[in-house]
Amino acid sequence: MPAPATCVVLGLGNTLHSDDGVGPQAIERLRSDARVPDDVALIEGGTLGLELLTYIWDCSYLLVLDAVDVGQPPGTLVRMSSQELQTLPGKGSVHQLGVADLLVALRVLASRTPEVVLLGVQPASTEWGTELSPAVAAVLPALADAAIAELCHRPHRQEEITT
């Protein structure tokens, strides 16, 4: 994995649990997308949990891509940031150690608190399997497009370019 960067896209999930693998699959898609700005680190975080702090503790902008159970129809894309993420329960992510837990640790331990945006996809299934469900597979291109839009319009991008 790369050294800490100012802008990090973190794909979370277990690729052996069907739709839970949407985060890592989105990272793979973004790796071959020429629209990703040069200053962005793409990290497939899998299910590493708090071990990921090493790679994100010093970033100024963190974009998380993950399967998130928000009680919507499968394949629904959701965007959460700032206050919404602070109210996300520890079990909001489909992982043992949730996104909320990682963000709490980041707020406590980071040298600065980054701006954090979560792009989530409502899973249809997190049972054993290496394929995404049809509903989640169909939304994968839209998730990548939404990630590109977030990266190109992040608030601190102009500051980073001019400094």
In the chain, the domains with their CATH numbers are 7-162 (3.40.50.1450)
**Which pLDDT value is given to residue 156?**
58
Q: Name, in order, each residue with C-beta under 8 angstroms of 142's C-beta and a sequence gap of 6 or more.
A: 77
**Which pLDDT value is given to residue 161?**
45
Q: How far from chain centre, in Å, is Cα 74?
A: 18
Instruction: Give the residue from 157, 163, 92 showing the smallest Cα distance to 121.
Output: 92
Q: List Cβ<8 Å contacts ≥24 apart for 133-141.
A: 133/18, 133/19, 133/74, 133/75, 135/73, 135/74, 135/75, 136/18, 136/19, 136/22, 136/67, 136/74, 136/75, 138/75, 139/75, 139/76, 139/77, 140/22, 140/25, 140/26, 140/29, 141/29
Q: What angle do CA 76, 11, 108 make, to 5 degrees?
A: 105
Q: Could you give the CA distance from residue 63 to residue 154 in angstroms, rounded to a whole number?
A: 10
**Which pLDDT value is given to residue 158?**
46
pTM of the model: 0.85
**Which pLDDT value is given to residue 48?**
79
**Which pLDDT value is given to residue 82?**
72
Residues of the chain with pLDDT under 70: 1-5, 86-98, 110-112, 155-163
On whether the CB atoms of residues 123 and 75 are closer than 8 A, the answer is: no
**Which pLDDT value is given to residue 101?**
72
**Which pLDDT value is given to residue 86?**
67
155 CB-side CA count, 13 A = 8
**Which pLDDT value is given to residue 81?**
87
